[in-house]
Amino acid sequence: MKGNGQMQATVFFSFFLLGLCEFFIDLKRTIYIALFCAFVCSGLVLPFGANAQTIGDTFTVKQVEVNGEKQVLLTGLKTTFIDSATLSYNRTATLADVLMQSNSIFFKSFGVGLSTPVFRGTNASQSKVYWDGVPITSSTHSTFDYTLVPITMVDAIEVDYGNASLKNSTGSFGVGVNLITKNKPADEVLIFRQSIGSFGTYKSGLTLNFGNQKFWGSTNLYYEKAKNDYSFINTAKSGSPVEKETRAAFTQYGILQKFGCQISEKDVLTLTTWYHVAPRDITPPIISNSIESRKDSSLRFFLNHEHKFKKSVLSNKFYFGNERLKYINLTANLFEVNNAYRYNYVSALEGDLTPKINYNLNGYILHDNAVTNHYKGTPNQTRYSISGTGTHSINDNFRYSVVAREEVINSRVMPIIYNASVLAGWLKDYHFFVKASYGTNYNYPGINDLYWVPGGNPNLQAEYAKQAEIGLHFTQKIKVGSFTADVTGFNNRITNQIIWLPGKNGFYEAYNLKKVNVVGLEFHTEAKILLGDLSIIPKLKYSYTQSTNLEGINALDDSKNKQVVYVPYHLTAANIRINYKTIDVYGEYQYTGFRYITSDNTDFLPAYGLVNISAGNRFSIYKNSISLRLKINNLFNTNYQAVAWYPMPGRYIEISTQININK
């Protein structure tokens, strides 16, 4: 068995090294950075002592508990979790806010109503969002608006970096964000939430849980409204006057209804319906006076059946989603309605083949179609996709993993994509290890890229990426808690990147023109200090990203070898949470480095730093509780723009309360 393992490891390594060789030149830089950070890490951890734990003989795939849900980690790839405890402090925040707190992500915020991510130097369509593993990123424009998910809808968030999301689908070069909802009955009978904030912001929510261990249900209602009439300095006008935003009003409301049934000891069935409506202004840049608004509405059904075998779990998911966008442009006298429909069936089998081999088989059929005046006919996309993931532990010092996925999209057989990764070190409890991975991925063009009239290009090819990661992880238990440090260097090379450029008639047209190389480094460290009723959790995150355009359109193109627009080199977030009994205090500093806004890097937006604070207390009355929270975002009223000509809000103050009635 041991010999077999060594042979498999040798084959794996040959495969893995072949891929890494392709990246050797670019990786050199990454390795240097990683080694440098390893040095820094070792310096940081020395005071805590190098107290390696005893290595056991039995391998268990690392699993993370999220309210009873188990998530299998791929080895060698980076995945982070935002658990329910962290989310509970952020019930009035947007998904974008929460992700920025916990990960190195820059969001292109067009005012307050629209946010799309720039992660690891990739663009918005190269990151995907999933709902319990089912893709919910738009099939038409290939992006997801991170302001449209109330955090109260979500029980945990899984953030898969790079190829870690291959287990769900293709196309996430940057990040795959999986919104996890629990499939077990909750302890609370009733939860009521209310908040009042600056700029005419009101948020209300009500959750009603009912049933028993056999049959249960949950009704979650929410309503949010904001005038967003914040003041800003209008640098587009003579004298830079202070003005009030008048075109940023935002409303969203919806209901999420869940029913669950424990059919037998081994079978669970859940049915979830989510109806969401968000009418809102489209904030124009301050150099324009256009009057535009949109109403996004969506209806989603999700049926999930899980059957537990002795050593595995089989899940079958059926998903239907209808996303409807009403777009009104009073300036252009335009009124348009776009409808997109998604049907998805996913089957996944996950388990342990042997105590040392874990597997995950996944297959899905996904059908998208869309209706709008801008298409000729009703374009559709059908994908048949299968994937297999295997993780093998040779011993407690060495582990490797392989994932491969094959798809047929609209009768087009796509190339097999894969990822191979390895962990080596003291793996027990993830104490100290080196990790490395190499893989490929592609991002198939969205329906708009292919069929939008005017400008869509049916001859577009899929964007293609080669991705490599290397890093170190260290976790040390100390007398009063624990300390963790993690550093990851990565290199993504993206070819055939799709861009829209103005054609001769002034209409934008889609082309496969760009070739981008991204080299970067992510560093994360945190400590948990527990002193009786007092807990202190400081965290520090830093990322460096160099996203370089490798090809020019012609010899005059000065964007060649320049940083891609809106990719900040430096992102830093430092935060600290202090809990004492029922009281918690939180403070964070987020730094976003300068971003070039022209492709020849001649113009840029300046860096900015924001300080956000919050404090809360929870009062218990019998089994029930009331919590109060005060939050101040942008404490120092910093004037900044994340995207050029879109001024962001100044100081925002919010008071919120949550009442929990328990069983």
Partner 1 sequence: MTTIKKQLITLLALATFFACTKEKTPVVTTTPGDDLTKGVLIINEGGFGKGTAGFDWYLPAKKQLSKDVFKSTNGFPLGDVLQSISRVDDDLYLVVNNSQKIEIINRNTGKSTGTITGLSSPRYAVASGNNIYVSDLFSGKISVVDKTTKKVAKTITTNGWSEQMAVVGNEVFVCRIIKGNCKIMVIDATTQTIKDSSLLVDDEPQWIVKDKDNKLWVLCDFYAKTKAATLLKINPTTRAIEATYSFPDMGHSPSKLSINKAGYELYFLSKGGIYKRSISYSGAVVGPFISKNSFSLYGLGIDPSNGDYYLGDAIDFTQAGYVFHYNNNGVAIDSFKAGVNPSGFYFGE
Question: If phi over 0 gives left and psi between -120 and 50 gives alpha, with beta otherwise, what is residue 142?
Answer: left
CA 371 centroid distance within chain: 28
Q: Which H or E run includes 360?
A: strand 357-371
For residue 236, the minimal CB distance to partner 1 (Å) is 6
d(CA 554, CA 513): 11
For residue 290, the minimal CB distance to partner 1 (Å) is 7
For residue 641, the minimal CB distance to partner 1 (Å) is 11
Angle at 292 between CA 288 and CA 296, to 5 degrees: 140
φ and ψ at 456, to 5 degrees?
-65, 150
For residue 495, the minimal CB distance to partner 1 (Å) is 17
For residue 520, the minimal CB distance to partner 1 (Å) is 22
d(CA 150, CA 457): 35
- Sequence-distant (6+) residues with CB within 8 A of 514 are 494, 496, 497, 498, 499, 549, 551
Nearer to partner 1, 240 or 620 (CB): 240
For residue 502, the minimal CB distance to partner 1 (Å) is 6
What CA dihedral angle connects 32, 33, 37 and 39, to 10 degrees? 20
For residue 555, the minimal CB distance to partner 1 (Å) is 10
HSE-up (13 A, CA, CB side) for residue 586: 18
Nearer to partner 1, 236 or 534 (CB): 236
Q: Quote the DSSP letter at residue 94.
A: B
Nearer to partner 1, 389 or 548 (CB): 548
Is there a contact between 157 and 94 (Cβ–Cβ < 8 Å)?
A: no
One-letter amino acid at 68 equals: G
CA 217 centroid distance within chain: 27
d(CA 128, CA 162): 10
d(CA 310, CA 9): 28
For residue 121, the minimal CB distance to partner 1 (Å) is 16
For residue 332, the minimal CB distance to partner 1 (Å) is 4
Nearer to partner 1, 433 or 646 (CB): 646
Binding site for partner 1 (CB under 8 A): 235-240, 285-290, 329, 331-334, 454, 499, 501-505, 507, 552-554, 556-559, 565, 597-600, 602-603, 644-645
d(CA 277, CA 322): 12
Nearer to partner 1, 411 or 554 (CB): 554
Nearer to partner 1, 52 or 501 (CB): 501
For residue 603, the minimal CB distance to partner 1 (Å) is 8
One-letter amino acid at 510 equals: A
For residue 550, the minimal CB distance to partner 1 (Å) is 13
Q: Which H or E run includes 448?
A: helix 447-451
Measuring CA to CA, which residue among 363, 478, 444 is closest to residue 128? 444
For residue 334, the minimal CB distance to partner 1 (Å) is 7
Nearer to partner 1, 602 or 620 (CB): 602
Handedness of CA 14, 20, 25, 27 (dihedral sign): negative
For residue 525, the minimal CB distance to partner 1 (Å) is 37
Nearer to partner 1, 202 or 327 (CB): 327
Nearer to partner 1, 113 or 260 (CB): 113
Nearer to partner 1, 331 or 354 (CB): 331
φ and ψ at 412, to 5 degrees?
-100, 120
Nearer to partner 1, 599 or 627 (CB): 599
Nearer to partner 1, 410 or 598 (CB): 598
Handedness of CA 115, 219, 265, 661 (dihedral sign): positive
**Residues paired with 223 in a beta bridge:** 204, 253
Gyration radius from the chain CA atoms: 25
For residue 336, the minimal CB distance to partner 1 (Å) is 13
Nearer to partner 1, 297 or 639 (CB): 639
d(CA 8, CA 353): 16
Q: Which H or E run includes 99?
A: helix 95-102
Nearer to partner 1, 306 or 551 (CB): 551
For residue 601, the minimal CB distance to partner 1 (Å) is 8
Task: Check whether the bond before 647 is cis (ω within 30° of 0).
Answer: no
Q: Which two tokens stand for residue 126?
A: 């190269």
For residue 604, the minimal CB distance to partner 1 (Å) is 13
Burial per residue of 485-519, b for 16 or more beta-carbon CB atoms within 10 angstroms, e otherwise: bbbbbbbbbbbbbbebeeeeeeeebbbbebbbbbb
**Residues paired with 302 in a beta bridge:** 272, 319
Nearer to partner 1, 291 or 314 (CB): 291
Strands (DSSP E) along 479-607, which ranges?
Answer: 481-502, 508-531, 534-549, 570-580, 583-592, 595-596, 604-605
Tally Cβ neighbours within 10 Å of residue 15: 15
Nearer to partner 1, 163 or 599 (CB): 599
